[in-house]
Structure 1
C-alpha cells in the first residue's frame, strides 16, 4: 500500500513537472522553427532582389528586332518573379514587425493548423502587400507570453505595424480594434484602399470569438 502511495506521488510530481516544462518546450520548438524560417527568408529575399536588379539593368544598344526580343524576354521573366508567384512557390510572404509588442515573425502562406504552428499565416484569398487591398494575417495566441499574437490586444489606434516583403517595406497604422464571432467574414473582404487585418482568437486560451486589428497603409 505504501509502495503504491509512493508511486502515485512520484507520478503526480512528474506530471506536474511535465506540465510546467511544456510551455518552455513549445517555446523552444517555435523559436527553432522561426529561426530556420528567418534564414530561409533572408536568403530568398536576397536572391529575389538580386534577380530583379539584374533585370532592371539598362538595355545595351541593339538592332530594334533584337532589342524588342530582349525586352519581351525580360517582361516574361518579371512576370514569373511576381510576389504572388514567389509566395506560391516558396511559401514565405515576408516578415511582420510590431515593435510595441516586441514581435518579429515570419509570415507563411496559409492559415491552416500546419502553417500557423510555427509562424504567422497569410490568407491566400486576400491581397498581398502592394496589391492595394486588404492583407489578412492570422496567428495563434500562444500559451507562451509574447509569441505571435499573444499580446495583440495591447495594440491601440495609432500604433505602427511593419510588413517587409521582397525588397519592400510597408508601414501601417492601427485605426480599429473589434471583437467578432468566428463566422463573421466581413473583416476579410477586399478593401478599396491598402490595409492590413490581423486576426487571432479571443479571449486568451479560448476559441469563442476573434480579436481583429485593422490598420491603414501609411
Structure 2
C-alpha cells in the first residue's frame, strides 16, 4: 500500500513539474509577443514599419497588434511614451532560421527570460562598431537562438529600429571559450555579433556569429 501511495505521489510531483515548465514557457512566449507587438506598433506609428505587409507580424496572432493599436490610436502622445519606456530596443530577424525576436537592453538572466539581450556599452544597430546580442538556445524561459548553428556565411541578419532597418551579412561562425570576450570588442566598421551557449544543454563553450553591415 505504501509503495502504491509513494508511486502515485511521484507521478503527481512529476505532473506538477511538467505543468510548471509548460506554464513558464507559455508566459515567456506571451511576454515575447507583447514586446514584439508593442515595438512593431511604435515603428509603424513613426513610419519605420508596415505591419500589414510584414510576413512575420501577419504570421503571429493578430490580436497582439490589435491590442496595442487600441491603446495608441486614440492618443498619439502615448506613442512617444512607449518609444521612451518600451523595453524592446530593436527587432531581430534571421530569415534562415525563421526567427523574429525582440531585443532588450541588457544580458542579465532577467533580461534573457523573454527576449535576446543587447550587451551594454556595445554599438547600436547600424552604428559603426560592434552591435552585440546574446540569447539562450535551450532554456526554461527561451530558446530563441536554438538554431543559430544553422547559419552560414552569406546569410542575412536584420535589425529593425526606430532609426531604420539594417541588414548584416554573416561572414564568420566560430566556437570559443566563455572567457574569450575579445569577440565583443569594438570594430571600426558596423558589425553584429550574436552570442549563445554551445553545445545545447551542456553550454561549456560559446557559439559566435559575426556579420557586416550591408551597404
Under TM normalisation by the shorter chain, which class is it?
0.7 to 0.9
Query: CA separation in 1, counterparts of 2:134 and 2:5?
Result: 44
Larger Rg: 1
Give yes or no for contact 2:130–2:192 (8 Å, CA) kept in 1.
Answer: yes
Task: Give the unaligned 5+ runs of structure 1.
Answer: 51-85
Give yes or no for contact 1:103–1:147 (8 Å, CA) kept in 2.
Answer: no
Greater helix percent: which structure? Answer: 1
| Most deviating of 115-124 and 199-208 | 199-208
**Are 1:174 and 2:151 counterparts?**
no
Aligned length: 180
SS at match of 2:110: helix
User: Could you tell me which residue of structure 2 aligns to residue 92 of structure 1?
Assistant: 88
Query: CA separation in 2, counterparts of 1:20 and 1:45?
Result: 38
Give yes or no for contact 1:141–1:147 (8 Å, CA) kept in 2.
Answer: yes
Residues 127-165 of structure 1: CA deviation (Å, up to 9, x unaligned): 001211110000111347x93111111111111111111
**Are 1:150 and 2:142 counterparts?**
no
Query: CA separation in 1, counterparts of 2:43 and 2:120?
Result: 20
2:41 pairs, out of 12, 33, 43, with: 43
2:23 pairs, out of 22, 25, 36, with: 25
Q: What is the RMSD computed on CA atoms of the aligned residues?
A: 2.3
Residues 168-212 of structure 1: CA deviation (Å, up to 9, x unaligned): 111111111111111111100011111110000111012321110
Query: CA separation in 2, counterparts of 1:18 and 1:151?
Result: 29
User: Could you tell me which residue of structure 2 aligns to residue 104 of structure 1?
Assistant: 100
1:210 pairs, out of 196, 201, 206, with: 206
Task: Give the unaligned 5+ runs of structure 2.
Answer: 49-81
Taking structure 2 as the reference length, the TM-score comes to 0.75
Taking structure 1 as the reference length, the TM-score comes to 0.74
Give yes or no for contact 1:110–1:123 (8 Å, CA) kept in 2.
Answer: yes
User: Could you tell me which residue of structure 1 aligns to residue 13 of structure 2?
Assistant: 15
User: Could you tell me which residue of structure 1 aligns to residue 117 of structure 2?
Assistant: 121
| Most deviating of 10-19 and 147-156 | 10-19
